[in-house]
Structure 1
Amino acid sequence: MVTLIIATIPACELALSDVFASLPDIEIEAERIVKGEENAAMPLLWVRGVEPDDFEAACEADPTIDDLELLADFDEELLYRMQWFDRIGLLFQMLTNANATILEAVGESETWHLRLLYPSREHLSKTKTFCSEHGLSFSIDAIRNMDRDPSGRYGLTSIQYNALITAVDAGYFDVPREVTLDELAAEMNLSHQALSECLRRGTHVLIEDTVLIGAAEFNL
């Protein structure tokens, strides 16, 4: 069964450890990470909380980085393309042997927070075995099996998923609203209070599961 996890990995065991150490306020978010040549990965990274000159100077001293290129400067965030070398064996193991898909990767405070999709629990066990054999840290903060219920993709209960979908279809989130909460509750045969709580909790889960990476607590 397809398995979704959120995991944390120290930067010293993945990439950009020296950058995080020298720039404690930096936040890095991967736009994309693709496998390059045999010992390299080529990520596109959004960089926040630092000036371009300071970031580039820190990158020069980091052995995991090569071929740094600034693609865009939007004042509060920078988009870079680079290559990662050296301590990225864990990354390649996840991308190749374990067939994992990196959905999100955010680095801050010398730690990487990853959202990973594995084809099965058996594939996930390959990453855990690899880390154990190589003395690497791989902390799983949340895990969820993906079944046929579409709510499982987002960490929602079936009731939360159906409530949100019904609310969107009925125009509850439109401006102005096309239906009141009481009308929607009557349509779904729920009380006003039950539906209100369902929508709030479902929205909370979606925000954690899509925006606040590393903070989600999945409904298993």
Structure 2
Amino acid sequence: MSVILEFTIRSDQFTLGHILSEAGDMHFELERIVPTGGHIMPFVWVSTEGDPNEDLPRFEENIRESNLDLELLALDRVDDGGLYRIEWKSQTQGLINGLGESEATVLEAFGDGSWTFRVRFTDHDKLTDFHNYLTDRDITIHIIRTYTFAEEGVRRRDFGLTNEQREALVLALQRGYFNTPSEVTLDELAEELGITKQAISDRIRRGNEKMLRPLLLSSAAR
């Protein structure tokens, strides 16, 4: 039976996360991890509250000038950021490689100074392999919880929203953010919650996606 692990990790324990965090005040979201030919290729969404025309080139230069043996490829640009593929040229011994070796599927991963992961393993043996990999390399994670695929089904009926995402969506609804015209700005919502504009934007966007995906994609498949 598949098992899901939710955990956090400091960027200094996560090689790629550490390099990304040196780019400055930016937010990162790991889309998926693809093992190919013994190498791991993460896809990373990069967003910024500043000018993307200035911040993204600085981010790209920072990655390319790092001591890591990797290749950065820009794939897409959006209003506040872009999608990149990062390909390791040689085998690494960090968190990403551990996920690849244990055949884990990354369901969700995001962060800046610290990272939050939600990953699925095919069974408890693979989860144990991942735990042993981390222990052998002195990589420390903070486990939030583990649960089975069956328990995930129950969670999905609640759309799988985190407490933070639910809080952001409820506040946005109550304050009229989704009205036309909007009755409140992201800056005002962020100030009320005591977080950054980027953080509230990410919570609303990810929360909306989690609710819409099962509703729209399941009906489209019929």
Provide TM-score, normalisation by structure 2.
0.60
> Could you list the per-position Cα deviations for residues 73-102 of structure 1 after superposition, in whole angstroms to 9, with x for gaps in the alignment?
223121112213564443223223x23111
Q: Which runs of 5+ in 2 are unaligned?
A: 161-205, 212-222
What is the count of residue pairs matched by the alignment?
160
Q: Letter of the aligned partner of 2:87 in structure 1?
A: Q
User: In 2, are the aligned partners of 1:26 and 1:48 still within 8 Å (CA)?
Assistant: yes
Q: What is the RMSD of the two structures over their aligned residues, measured on CA atoms?
A: 3.1
* 1:62 aligned onto 2:61: no
Q: Distance in 2 between matches of 1:156 and 1:80?
A: 28
Q: Are positions 1:78 and 2:82 aligned together?
A: yes
Q: In structure 2, give the amino acid aligned to 1:48.
A: S
Match of 2:21, SS? helix
User: What are the superposed Cα offsets for residues 38-76 of structure 1, whole Å, 9 maximum, x if unpaired?
Assistant: 3x3212211011522111121123233632222222231
Counterpart among 58, 81, 94 of residue 99 in structure 2: 94
Contact 1:30 1:45 in 2 (8 A): yes
Query: Does structure 2 retain, via aligned residues, the 8 Å contact 1:146–1:153?
Result: no
Partner of 1:125: 128
Cα distance change of structure 1 residues 86 and 147 upon mapping to structure 2, 3 Å threshold: same
**Same amino acid, percent of matched pairs:** 22
54-63 or 86-95, larger mean C-alpha shift: 86-95
Q: Secondary structure at the match of 2:139?
A: coil
Contact persistence 2:9–2:140 (CA under 8 A): yes
The one-letter code of the counterpart of 1:10 is: R
Whether the aligned pair in 1 keeps the contact of 2:98 and 2:134 (CA below 8 Å) is no
Question: Larger radius of gyration, structure 1 or 2?
Answer: 1
Aligned to 2:44: 45
Q: Which has the higher helix share?
A: 2
TM-score, with normalisation over the residues of structure 1?
Answer: 0.61
How far residue 114 of structure 1 moved from its aligned partner, in angstroms, is 1.1
Question: Equivalent residue for 1:145?
Answer: 148
Flag structure 1 segments of 5+ consecutive residues without an equivalent: 158-205, 212-220
How does 1:1-220 map onto structure 2 within 5 Å? 1-12=1-12, 13-23=14-24, 25-38=25-38, 40-49=39-48, 51-64=55-68, 66-84=70-88, 87-96=92-101, 98-109=102-113, 111-147=114-150, 150-153=153-156, 207=207, 210=210
Amino acid at match of 2:80: E
